[in-house]
Structure 1
Amino acid sequence: MSARESGGENPLKELARYGQSPWLDFIQRSYTENGSLKKLVDEDGLKGVTSNPAIFQKAMGQGTDYDAQIRSVLAHQVLDAGALYELLAVDDIRAAARVMYPVYEQTKAVDGYVSLEVSPYLARDTKGTLHEALRLWKAVDARNLMIKIPGTEEGVPAVRAAIAEGLNINVTLLFSIDAYKKVLEAYITGLEDRLGRGESVKNIASVASFFVSRIDVKIDKEIDTRVAKGDKDSAALKALRGKVAIANAKMAYEHWKAVTASPRWKKLADAGAQPQRLLWASTGTKDKSFSDVLYVDGLIGPETVNTIPPVTFDAFRDHGKVAPTLTQDVEGAKKVLAEARRLGLDLDGVTKVLVDEGVASFADAFDDLLGSVAAKQAAFLGKKVTSTALKLPADLQKAVDAELEAWRKKGNVRRVWDKDATLWTGKDEASWLKWLDITDDQVAALSKFENFQAEVKARGFRDALLLGMGGSSLGPEVLAQTFGKHEGFPHLYVLDSTDPQQVRDFEKKIDISKTLFIVSSKSGGT
């Protein structure tokens, strides 16, 4: 019989007795709009919400929750997939933040937060991460927003700078204790930076998202492989299955306790600073041989958060066991880690791999998310979007698809837009890429083109003939083939030769008195 069926206290609400806040690792528009999110707050004591690219991919890429807004936006403007996603996501985050705001007020800014992640593409870019964190903070404009920043080597300085700017930060993708120590140091130093400038450190919140179950997945796979091969330490190895991740988390908490008891922290606390709480992430059980609430039951302790996926949230409500497990048997946790080292289970190596995999996984999810948004955008715009389909032989198409996928995985298109010369020889190629900005530059001066367009139409030109060679003609030819002729506007011809016969052929196609001539020279001296 479950805790709820027996008439007992809701285990999710009981977590508060031990100082832990349950957050939900999920966001979706319908969940907020239909009252489901508020119901979790009222009935289960929900204290916060986290999101990530994979969660948004499922929310936006499936179903019709967002179709009405997408249609409405596209009726007035055409955005790229990234800008359209952000518009949708910001609306979702704001709506969830409004639901959670009473919790924020009741807990005096300790809980009630909703997290929005910076672009996963910036995980290795300190400057870009900070810039995006500040931009998203301003765009959402909610006091109970947390900006998620990955705890990579490049992310840590951005965390310090963002805290110093007064942002609430959720540091994600933490697996190792060493990485966590750097993040906690960044938080404290960021607060000290503010204090040193005479600025307030009150009501600035941060959590360090320490991932759990993924560690056991990696470690247990190595254990199972060695046991299957008849390892001489098979019995000792099997005894560690499902235990390393929780032991690792307990050691991170022990470090947190030591730091928050220090004179250095006391000075900040006296000035009104909140401690950066450890948040247990990736707490859904992957191995079906373990309890489905293993990573909630086993990590309950003061001033911590557990961000729980919906299925695990429901399971813990049903049969979770609430006890101060985080501070129990710490010596046992130390022995687990010592035994793992003795047996050659490379926890440090595993955590490093998991960071790289996490960065790649979120980038893949973001690619899928933007692809889903772009597909919906194209479907809704229909004939408003000009598209061409190039049919290639099957073997060539396969090679093209493979190369496109390789570029996607490596983020090469983003590197082009960042003017990254290492895509070529790493020398002066970046200086060749001014053309990438041409569209933005010209859109800024759109009125002059609209005026010229109106003049051409008013004067009744039936044709336009561009005279140019090489680079001066190839681009216009692509445009002519891509966009074709539109009703009420001239037909674009391109003459790229001084051959008399070709000149004569074009002369026959046009009425010179009704033709706009464009002389094009890329170099300026043709």
Structure 2
Amino acid sequence: MADNKVKEIYNYRQSIWLDFIDRAIMRTGKLERMIEDDGLRGVTSNPAIFEKAFASSADYDEDISARADSELSDEQLFYELAISDIRKAADLFYGVYNGKVVGADGFVSLEVSPELALETEDTISQALDLWQRVDRKNVMIKIPGTKPCLPAIRKAIAAGLNVNVTLLFGLERYEAVTDAIITGLEDRLAKGEPVSGIASVASFFLSRIDILVDPMLEEKGLKDLKGETAIALAKEAYAIYKRVFSGERWQQLADQGAKPQRLLWASTGVKDTTVKDTKYVEALIGPDTVNTAPLDTINAFRDHGIVNPTLESGLETAGNTLRQVKNAGIDLEAVSQQLETEGIQKFKEPYQKMLQAIAAKRKKKKEL
């Protein structure tokens, strides 16, 4: 499929990952076909995705029933099943991971419990446990980029884990995350341990920003800026990326084989039906980045997406957009904090719903 528009994005050194996983997509061979036809280079998951997978099919019922009488808690049972799925997906992507540049891509992400999003020590403990249990080189453990989890990110990197830092909405926090990554690599190097095999991404969320900011802009008579804030922030984040992962401090790590943490554009499914459904893919195509997109967005881009190197264009416009937003009295750091708080809750709710579903299925089995 030489004319596949999704696959064409990789010509501009951006990797497309799928923000979705369930057993059916692996069982039917669809995921393998997407790797081949679309040039898909990774998968991300989160509690909401797993909740949909558990709720929308009977694929997990047999495994849950078989463990209904076990001493595992509902959460432990969930992770046992999720780890099995993540291993299968990681194995499907191992050829990508083990490609011409080993470890450049081919990663599958598994997230720590959203209940731990503000807990430093419990997060690092679960991250280490999941890493050991999945036991795949091409797995990333997702850790939220909250203030309490910054030390956990540093410790995870220092311990040699691949890390996907999630729930990023603001520039200040993103830069703090890059420092945690670099410091973790420095800690590891100081212990005489290699830094060359560690990969990381920083998941910068997009559509949720515009959904919150756009009504504020309309109230202030700035309707022409609707849908522009998230993209402008992403371009500013990329400028931070290029600055941070250069210079003397980074070069000392790069000389030892360290890889810079790539920016990953997340929340790229369009939530505003008046906006083109491929917007958050088309606007941010550029080098050494990742876009993790829902299945519907990938299908839409394959059908009518436009492939151009857009990430490094319009930088002056992006800067002007953010200045106008600031001058209008909209505090984007306050916005990012609100979105982080809401994001944690949006992951907690489906996570608890999924655990309740598991509990109900176990109870039903015991009553038979």
User: TM range, normalised to the smaller chain?
Assistant: over 0.9
Instruction: Say yes or no: does 1:66 pair with 2:64.
Output: no
Contact 1:90 1:139 in 2 (8 A): yes
Contact 1:216 1:243 in 2 (8 A): yes
Cα deviation, 1:192-243, whole Å, max 9, x if unaligned, reads 111111110011000000001100000112233x1xxxx5xx2xx0111000
Instruction: Say yes or no: does 1:249 pair with 2:234.
Output: yes
Pairing of 1:91-130 with structure 2 (within 5 A): 91-106=84-99, 107-130=101-124
Instruction: Say yes or no: does 1:238 pair with 2:189.
Output: no
Instruction: Say yes or no: does 1:84 pair with 2:77.
Output: yes
Residue 295 of structure 2 corresponds to 310
Pairing of 1:117-516 with structure 2 (within 5 A): 117-224=111-218, 226=219, 234=221, 237-383=222-368
Q: 1: CA distance between counterparts of 2:330 and 2:319?
A: 15
Residue 481 of structure 1 corresponds to none
Identity of aligned residues (%): 50
Where 1:110 maps in the other structure, the secondary structure is: coil
Where 1:286 maps in the other structure, the secondary structure is: coil
Residue 403 of structure 1 corresponds to none
Q: 2: CA distance between counterparts of 1:251 and 1:143?
A: 31
Deviation at 1:360, TM superposition (A): 1.2
Q: 1: CA distance between counterparts of 2:71 and 2:124?
A: 27
Number of residue pairs aligned between Structure 1 and Structure 2: 367
Q: 2: CA distance between counterparts of 1:247 and 1:380?
A: 52
What one-letter code is carried by the residue in structure 2 that aligns with 1:192? E
Deviation at 1:262, TM superposition (A): 1.1
What are the ranges of 5 or more consecutive residues in structure 1 without an aligned counterpart? 384-526
Q: 1: CA distance between counterparts of 2:129 and 2:71?
A: 21
Q: 1: CA distance between counterparts of 2:63 and 2:151?
A: 37
Cα deviation, 1:74-106, whole Å, max 9, x if unaligned, reads 3x6343211111111011101111101110001
What one-letter code is carried by the residue in structure 1 that aligns with 2:293? I
Where 2:155 maps in the other structure, the secondary structure is: helix
Where 2:345 maps in the other structure, the secondary structure is: helix
When the two structures are superposed, what TM-score results if normalisation uses the length of structure 2? 0.97
Cα deviation, 1:47-80, whole Å, max 9, x if unaligned, reads 0000000000000123201112222333x63432
Residue 42 of structure 1 corresponds to 36
Cα deviation, 1:80-134, whole Å, max 9, x if unaligned, reads 2111111110111011111011100014101101100001111111000000000
Contact 2:110 2:141 in 1 (8 A): yes
Q: 2: CA distance between counterparts of 1:381 and 1:162?
A: 39
1:10 aligned to 4, 9, 13, which one? Answer: 4
Q: 1: CA distance between counterparts of 2:93 and 2:268?
A: 22
Larger radius of gyration: 1
Q: 2: CA distance between counterparts of 1:127 and 1:77?
A: 28
Contact 2:65 2:361 in 1 (8 A): no
- Alpha-carbon RMSD: 1.2
Cα deviation, 1:456-490, whole Å, max 9, x if unaligned, reads xxxxxxxxxxxxxxxxxxxxxxxxxxxxxxxxxxx
Q: 2: CA distance between counterparts of 1:188 and 1:15?
A: 28
Q: 1: CA distance between counterparts of 2:17 and 2:66?
A: 32
Q: 2: CA distance between counterparts of 1:381 and 1:44?
A: 44
Contact 2:167 2:205 in 1 (8 A): yes
Q: 2: CA distance between counterparts of 1:47 and 1:62?
A: 25
Where 1:154 maps in the other structure, the secondary structure is: helix
Contact 2:217 2:325 in 1 (8 A): no
When the two structures are superposed, what TM-score results if normalisation uses the length of structure 1? 0.69
Deviation at 1:34, TM superposition (A): 1.4
What one-letter code is carried by the residue in structure 1 that aligns with 2:79? E
Deviation at 1:374, TM superposition (A): 1.0
What one-letter code is carried by the residue in structure 2 that aligns with 1:186? A
Residue 478 of structure 1 corresponds to none
Q: 2: CA distance between counterparts of 1:382 and 1:63?
A: 22
Contact 1:164 1:194 in 2 (8 A): yes
Cα deviation, 1:488-523, whole Å, max 9, x if unaligned, reads xxxxxxxxxxxxxxxxxxxxxxxxxxxxxxxxxxxx
Of the structure 1 ranges 309-318 and 260-269, higher mean CA displacement relative to structure 2 is found in 260-269
